Structure 1
């Protein structure tokens, strides 16, 4: 059992978590939720021994093995399959000892090690590693490819596969669906559902959490509370609790206003002064109910566009690629106002390339593309002003502060000053205190 007893965690002067008292039993699958910066990743760091508690204690059985995804991207000439096999520490240790024993021709030790390998079902380790890699999108040829030939995203998949290969009793996963396509996410979801150990999972994907977890540990305002059920159950329970708390708060506020009004009216009257004083003391003794708090009070609305031509977007016989590699060929597409399109496909199929074409960041090799009647390549600025994009890579100039960057973008696209909400947006993202700090 994983136990937290009155645990407090600080990062510098800021207290992230205080008074954490939670017990997590074997086999439970916990979704760790809360706004960015509330201490979810710090809790993982504490469990892994990378961060000390500022108060309290936590413990888990000494025989437990803890699995987690390494943050450093791997490198080297070893194959993807061999790298993932490192996750099974027992198998790797026995394999190395067997190699030495065979060189030394130590028959007794060889027999003993083979028996241990049989006990841990170690002979199935290579096929288990191959299944993990296949589930995460690695082809048979890809499993033989040297680690250093993969991109950063694929290397993070290798780290995830290695963590899943670990014979863990406790598995810590922080945003494991990052860098995964839809097929890999679905496979991971199924794998975690069959995982028999204790799972702590941080994710912002509601459906993923719903399918995997059976409890939610929610961190908010320095405290943490555990809820039974999946994420949807948590949301419904918490919404009801917040509604109840808000109703009690409003009722108390009306009561307080009535008492204050009574005291103000009759404090100076001799016949009512004693009653007024009594109510004033009752007011001072009253335990105040806090208003219901929501993690992110930020609300936004999208401005109506000045023009919505029909069609909104047209792509005709578009082709694109990188060097001699063709990624998109003969692409035809038309979108009309109100359309909502999900863009699916395996990694490398051209999803990001298509988005970059529409954003004017990548030129086509053939065909035409228009947004709101503007040719994307010959009328780039007008076309860009008609499309909003959230890029994968950091697109912000590191020599600007967050506030300057937002104001610059708003000015470039002609957003009137009275309609800009730069500080409101930064506040909702937890960046208001860093609005004047340079990114570099």
Structure 2
């Protein structure tokens, strides 16, 4: 187990953890939460051995293998498959041992290397690596592409796959969902639920934490508190604790009343539609944890729009894409009305960002029309918005430039003190307004983009993954602000909690079209799993004809139960035969001293192991067919 006893940790002169004690048991899945700068990454550094406790006692099993996602951008020309496969360091080491043994002509070493490789899973290592890559959203034809050919976000997905490929007793994940779309996120959750080791994850995605963790460690005020529940359970318990703190009671009651006002308003508006009911449940959660929201250090609101054209825009027979040779979406029709809350769903690569970019006027439609209502004012938060901030400029310079360009048309003040006051609402106070943006964290940059977006007083908000760099408190503040916003919201996000609390309806972008989605997010997650399976099945190469000992499974009609039963018996007989030979070979390897015989037995053992794996797969298929026949 991992044990901290009266441990203190510092970063420079700053005390992050002061005499904390906590235990993490083997096999537990733990969410590590707390405000930015509270000490989460510092605690990870302690677990990794990169940092030592300043006082107290920290212990963990010396033999534990630790896996983590490397934070640096990989720069290599090796293929995606080879890069991920190299995450299994034991397998790579054994391959090197085999190469050395073969070069030296050492028969005994060759035999031992083959035996060790079989134990390490050499026979299915490549399929395992490729399964991780495909699960994280890559296409089958990209498996052999060089790592350097992918963009930064996709290379970080490969780093995640590489960490998952590594055999480990302790898996440390720091914001693993930042570069993932919802389809890859659903796959990652399923993978982590099957993980047998100890998991500690830092994340600002509350639904992800709920899905994969059962213990929560909360860092606050230099203390580390353990809660025996997932994030929602922790949130409820903490809300009860805060509500009992009388010192802030009056402030909380004022904020809670404000929250209650919009919760009641939107719950009253909600129809019986499944999507709207999902939103009602999210608002009820806000009602339950109102003290936590009231205690948050950061809140903001959108100003009332100057006008609300209705409809906001109308799309007619439109095609979206990047030229006649790269049409992504065709025959798009739809109307966006004032006050709508639309979630844009779609698997990775289906065209969500293309759709939003076209609505946002950053690229023209290829065909058809997008007609805007009179007075439409779009506020657009793009995925790459943080990249277009000027690193050398300060928050005050960014907002001043915006005020000079748009202020007169919007009737907004460009006085420096007014701009400073505005920045202060978004926690840019004192010297921070003069700090170069390039030296700021991702969360601070995202908060600056939100600050500039709100200042523009839009009536249509187009938000493409706005939460990637936001902590949990800021995400909650964004949800509250969006719910109070009087205009229209169109939202692309992998943050399901935000989608549930904000959106009353969903549009699905997929298979070259944009259509209303008749269902809620739970239905959509099931759709994603089915769609991923369909894509894998279409891309899979034809299965080779199996060995004649076991007849191939025919899934069409005409096969009797007795025929399948007979083939199943044959498969079982072959499995027993191979298992016997495998056991005999393993005994031979441990008792034979003749180097030549050891080498021969080692090679045969690898062959038998691979054949046994194939026969076991066939046995499972036959069993499934027999069950279907009944």
Report the TM range for the smaller structure's normalisation: 0.7 to 0.9
In 2 relative to 1, CA 399–248 (structure 1 residues): closer, same or farther, beyond 3 Å?
closer
In structure 2, what is the Cα distance between the partners aligned to 1:415 and 1:296? Answer: 31
User: Matched residues in 2 for 1:211 and 1:292: separation?
Assistant: 21
- Residues 334 and 356 of structure 1: is their aligned pair in 2 closer, same or farther, counting only changes over 3 Å? same
CA distance in 1, matches of 2:299, 2:161: 38
Structural mapping, 1:99-114, within 5 Å: 99-114=99-114
Task: Return 214-223 or 340-349, whichever deviates more.
Answer: 340-349
Counterpart position of 1:405: 398
> Which structure 2 segments of 5+ residues have no match?
251-290, 439-630
Distance in structure 2 (CA, Å) of the matches to 1:388 and 1:208 = 26
1:247, distance to aligned residue in structure 2 (A): 7.4
Q: Look up the match of 1:266.
A: none
Give the aligned partner of residue 389 of structure 1. Answer: 381
What is the CA–CA distance in structure 1 between the aligned matches of 2:2 and 2:217, rounded to whole Å? 13
Kept in 2, the 8 Å contact 1:246–1:292? The answer is: no
Q: Which stretch of structure 1 is more off in the superposition, 46-55 or 169-178? A: 46-55
Moved more, 418-427 or 397-406: 418-427
Distance 1:49 1:107 in 2: 39
Match runs of 1:7-26 below 5 Å? 7-26=7-26
* Match in the other structure for 1:203: 203
**Residue equivalent to 1:380:** none
Of 28-37 and 94-103, the range deviating more from structure 2: 94-103
Cα distance between partner residues in 1 of 2:86 and 2:5? 34
Q: 2:434 aligns with which of 429, 436, 440?
A: 436
Query: Aligned partners of 2:18 and 2:55: how far apart in 1?
Result: 8
8 A Cα contact 2:360 2:378, kept in partner: no
Displacement, 1:72? Answer: 1.5
Within a 5 Å distance, the mapping from 1:16-415 to structure 2 comes to 16-246=16-246, 296-316=296-316, 317-321=318-322, 324-373=325-374, 385-394=377-386, 395-409=388-402, 412-413=406-407, 414=410
**RMSD after superposition:** 2.7
Could you say if the C-alpha distance between residues 100 and 304 of structure 1 is closer, same or farther in structure 2, counting changes exceeding 3 Å?
Answer: same
1:326-380 CA distance string (max 9 Å, x none)? 3333333321112222222233322222222233333333333244336xxxxxx
CA offsets 1:6-65 (integer angstroms, 9 cap, x no match): 333333333322222111110111101111121212221232233344333422111001
Whether contact under 8 Å (2:239, 2:292) holds in the other structure is no
**TM-score (normalizing by structure 1):** 0.80
TM-score normalised by L of structure 2: 0.57
- Work out the CA distance in 2 between the residues paired with 1:390 and 1:326: 21
> Hey, what's the Cα distance between the residues in 2 that align with 1:70 and 1:323?
40
Secondary structure at the residue paired with 2:349?
Answer: coil
Partner secondary structure for residue 143 of structure 2: helix
- CA deviation after TM superposition for structure 1 residue 312, in Å: 1.0
- d(CA) in 2 for partners of 1:141 and 1:334? 37
Task: For residues 164-186 of structure 1, give each alpha carbon's deviation from its aligned partner in whole angstroms, at most 9, with x where no partner exists.
Answer: 01111111101111111111101
Asked if structure 2 preserves the Cα contact closer than 8 Å seen for 1:371 and 1:386, the reply is no
- Conserved 8 A contact 2:320-2:355: no
Q: Secondary structure at the match of 2:217?
A: strand
CA distance in 2, matches of 1:386, 1:150: 31
Distance (whole Å) between structure 1 residues aligned to residue 400 and residue 7 of structure 2: 41
Q: Deviations over 1:170-206 (max 9, x none)?
A: 1110111111111110110011111111111111111
Show the counterpart of 2:271: none
Q: How many residues align?
A: 388
Q: Is the 8 A contact 1:359 1:389 kept in 2?
A: no
Q: Which runs of 5+ in 1 are unaligned?
A: 251-290, 375-382
1:222 and 1:153 map into 2 onto residues whose CA distance is 33
CA contact (8 A) 1:22 1:226 kept: yes
The higher-RCO structure (CA 8 Å, 6+ apart) is: 2
Which contiguous aligned blocks of 4+ residues in structure 1 show a shift greater than 4 angstroms? 247-250, 291-295, 417-420
2:500 is matched with none
Aligned to 2:16, the other structure's residue is in SS state: strand
CA contact (8 A) 1:242 1:293 kept: no
3-state SS of paired residue (2:426): helix
Q: Distance in 1 between matches of 2:356 and 2:14?
A: 40
What CA distance in whole angstroms lies between the structure 2 residues aligned with 1:9 and 1:432?
A: 28
Give 3-state SS (helix, strand or coil) of 1:115's partner: helix
